[in-house]
Amino acid sequence: MLFNVRMTVRLPHDLPAATADQLKATERARAQELQRSGKWRHLWRVAGQYANISVFDVESPQELHDILSTLPLFPFMEIDVSPLCRHPSSIHDDDR
């Protein structure tokens, strides 16, 4: 199942810089691990915002929830999820 996921990060202003830097580094590593596994298929930054648009390829909504909740920045995220299905007018056979 494919899901479009928009994640907006809102770190507290009083979060120590060292803590924020460590969270971001751990988040990057986890995101890259999920991309290598094929679960996090696409990742794009939203220009001018601390946000991204992503496509996840998972077995179920529960798996998506389980994955998102493992992200180190999850407690600081606003997340919008939309399930995706193939469009009949798409010229691509591989859902890219």
Q: pLDDT, tens digit, for every residue of 12-64? A: 999 999 999 999 999 999 999 999 999 999 999 999 999 999 999 999 999 99
In the CATH hierarchy, which top-level class contains the domain 2-84? alpha beta
Tokens of 82: 């939309």
pLDDT band at 96 (very low <50, low <70, confident <90, very high): low
34 within 8 A of 52, measured Cβ to Cβ: no
57 within 8 A of 39, measured Cβ to Cβ: yes
pTM of the model: 0.90
